[in-house]
Structure 1
């Protein structure tokens, strides 16, 4: 990076204090040593990202959290989905199976790490093994590897290898599943478990090596960029092109990421041109503040809803649930939370997967009079005897606006006034979850498949059903989804059975539908090629350019 006008902010400041001071001064910066210096770059293609948290763990194997959004910058995956949901080869160039249980994958012979060494099947195997280790705490490794033979043993602590992964040669990975899965290849097309060098990522004990990804450890990287600077206290990272990347040559000269926790500050810095991208800026006025282009993008198979804990009073009474849903004007709900977009109102769980359109799902009606009658017919007889209704997951302006709108609709149409809202879901995990009646949360899928979408949201085995909906279980839903999962990816019955499962779920009146997710660019108009896919990953980071 070119050092133009440089000034010292003072050695007596902490790095985080220096960061905040530099932001307030409206200048760009680089942190060097114990002091912070202001640096203005001249004429370089530099992507400057505002990151919403002081993330302390940037391991690409965590499978979630804000750092996960940028995995594709510096790590390669087996395959990836583009913005249209089409699968593309990456480290893996081909995949085949004869029985949907044993899968053979071939590696690109040109695939290399940043030091020029070859990416081999042993590196893939090690990356998968360490990602599945319990101590690695990968949030979503099960979405990729749960059907691989030996996964339960490894995650359960009785094994240190996935018995179903074989590497007959350095360019071939053979995977044996514990059960047939016609769409297993799709599950690998993401950056939940990116590919790292075996000798660096995994220790002799089988565990993930601490801080192995730090540049100070001479780490080699598999993606188009490599990490060259990181200061966790200051909340800054910098990436530069990987000169040995086996794909297209990156167009950017550098990527600089800085932690900026306040949305108002981040919006101001984006408007001023100090920054040109954000990790995940979610406000109800985002389009008015930053323009439609900032939030434009495809609708992805993820949706946000208000889920009812069906085991918790008064949600254990179906008539109460129905009354609460029918008392909410959902056209007004989306206008209250995202009046200008980018997200769109949805009526059902499914969206942006085969079968979402024309599914025959009948939207919940808005009928205040019928809702009032149902509440009076319920075991509670009316609003006076209802316990206080507690929302959790009400974090951020748009979510707060939506929850308050729902509460006001209940007050106006049903006479309900005892409502409370809390931001954190984690505080109500385990036994405390039974104190909550309504969880705001997203559901979705990492693959364009209706069965996977519903299996992760309304099946009794899903975390959503178990932890948000109070152990929700509908045998018909489970049966239909189990049958659907056995069908080939291109079998029309796979979609038809999933649609029937969603209709069966509807009759339980267990959620207030809210919106289908638009995958925002989170970048100003001058930034090109930063489109993201259904897994929140930049599709082709080598194509990002400015101007």
Structure 2
């Protein structure tokens, strides 16, 4: 049997079986070396899940990380969090920041050569807001726009607060002043699509309109040229009509590799040079510091305590279980070599992160024992079983196990169960009390960050914290949101809100996230932005 045939068989085994079957074997012993020299200027991506829906309108999911390959945003933040024009060449607020006027770039066009018009922008945003589109994050962009609620609620298909006075002008009217609205739309959550192709007569999304066989026009630097969803493979090639800089890559190949160990081995072997998201505790030892290097972004991973479910409905239990965890040890157990940064608070690294009045939760096992004894449960033996969810990666599993062990050692709590996701608990799923999940902001602003994390209207407060509501926190954030970005009181009120939330003892801070490259050193300019997307995909090259 030839070496090339053995190599193909080994790669196929890794893709189908997973890395566990090859534990302890080197990449060389598995026969994973490439049979020939790697093709130049081809980005070869290992994708962690079989994604069956690649629509750019979902506002989330692993495929969302690659939206910037083939779709243009109104504006975008670069890797240094500086705002850059894209489809919109300019933006101007009214004096009260309630009306915003955007001008489309003169040369903006789709891959079929047709111009991007204001009707396309309006249609793209309305389509993303339609309930059937199931966008995970469209509210982050458009919830403040007049008429948005009717569309997302299913009673309308057009948003009157988005006006198109001419083909190159978009005027947005908000329900209340918002000094950072232009920052909210500077992302690929609802990218600009060709509305006449993507929407049907009812205003909903045309099935698979974006697939190459359906002739879907794209607005970004690459276009999808080949796809086999069952095999988990996609190919992107340069869009010859892209209105920005010419792409340096000749092709982008995306192949599904579900197992993290297998993906690591294939990257080590050189079969791939990038990954969509690889979260392991040994990532630096396995693939080098540069693979996962990146700036710390305003996204944090934490363990949230559901205040509506026993035993976390007792504030003393919540405080006890937080103080019983050595958070320095938690971080060292999961990311001893980085690239992330240990978290103490929520807002970071945005203006207002440096708050001298914020006191991190201490590690105090003795105080924790006292609090548990004083609680309505009186001790560990009367606590119900604690279910922890959201630990779907190796590092997250280690974190969950570390917390459970701390509770056992320091408080005598032994009834703790963990599963990767809430769905894995079956009928017990609705009883999950601790959820590992991220919170963050697409806007480098403390108020926006906290509004999506601890305000009673946020998904975190509603779902993960079990309907958490602190009226003083809500009032401070509402007052701060109306203030200009450069007003010191905007930050001061956000800091005060975060301090009040701290005293409710609702979360175990874990880490602030580095926006990892997830690419080998040979891949250049693949830095990502606040939206987990390649900021300048046209500049990516293999060198």
Would the TM-score normalized by the shorter structure come out above 0.5?
Answer: yes
Q: 1:66 aligns with which of 34, 56, 62?
A: 62
Structure 2 counterpart of 1:300, from 297, 300, 312: 297
Deviations 1:247-276 (A, max 9, x none): 111111111110010111110111111100
Q: Helix, strand or coil for the counterpart of 1:366?
A: coil
Q: Give the Cα separation in 1 of the matches to 2:423 and 2:39.
A: 45
- Native 8 Å contact 1:311 1:434 kept in 2: no
Q: Please say which of residues 17-26 and 200-209 is displaced more in the overlay.
A: 17-26
Matched residue, 1:82: 78
5+ residue gaps, structure 1, are 29-38
In structure 1, how many angstroms separate the alpha carbons of the residues matched to 2:240 and 2:277? 29
User: Is the alpha carbon distance of 1:427 and 1:133 closer, same or farther for their aligned partners in structure 2, counting shifts above 3 Å?
Assistant: farther
1:103 to 100, 104, 112: 100
Aligned pairs for 1:380-529 within 5 A: 380-426=377-423, 435-529=431-525
Moved more, 17-26 or 523-532: 17-26
Shift of 1:428: 6.8
Identify the match of residue 203 of structure 2 among 199, 203, 206: 206
Q: Distance in 2 between matches of 1:377 and 1:6?
A: 67
Distance 1:460 1:322 in 2: 20
Q: Distance in 2 between matches of 1:105 and 1:273?
A: 45
TM-superposed deviation, 1:295: 0.4
Partner of 1:94: 90
Secondary structure of the 1:301 match is strand
Q: Secondary structure at the match of 1:166?
A: strand
Alignment partner, residue 348 of structure 1: 345
CA–CA distance in 2 between the matches of 1:455 and 1:476?
A: 13
Worse-matched range after superposition: 310-319 or 184-193: 310-319
Cα drift, residue 403 of structure 1? 1.1
SS of corresponding position for 1:48: strand
Instruction: Tell me the residue number matched to 1:261.
Output: 258
Q: Determine if the alignment matches structure 1 residue 371 to structure 2 residue 368.
A: yes
* Corresponding residue pairs, total: 528
Match of 1:290 among 287, 290, 302: 287
Larger displacement relative to structure 2 (292-301 or 241-250) = 241-250
**How far apart are the structure 1 equivalents of 2:515 and 2:445?**
17
Aligned twin of 1:538: 534
Contact 2:15 2:258 in 1 (8 A): no
What is the Cα-based RMSD across aligned positions, in Å? 2.3
TM superposition score normalised by structure 2: 0.93
Deviation string, structure 1 residues 325-376 (Cα, Å, up to 9, x no partner): 1111110000111111111111011111110123521001111111111111
Give structure 2 stretches of 5+ with no counterpart: 20-29
Partner of 2:27: none
Distance 1:369 1:58, change over 3 A: same
> Is contact 1:304–1:442 with CA below 8 Å preserved after alignment?
yes
CA distance in 2, matches of 1:47, 1:290: 17
The answer as to whether partners of 1:133 and 1:155 remain within 8 angstroms in 2 is yes
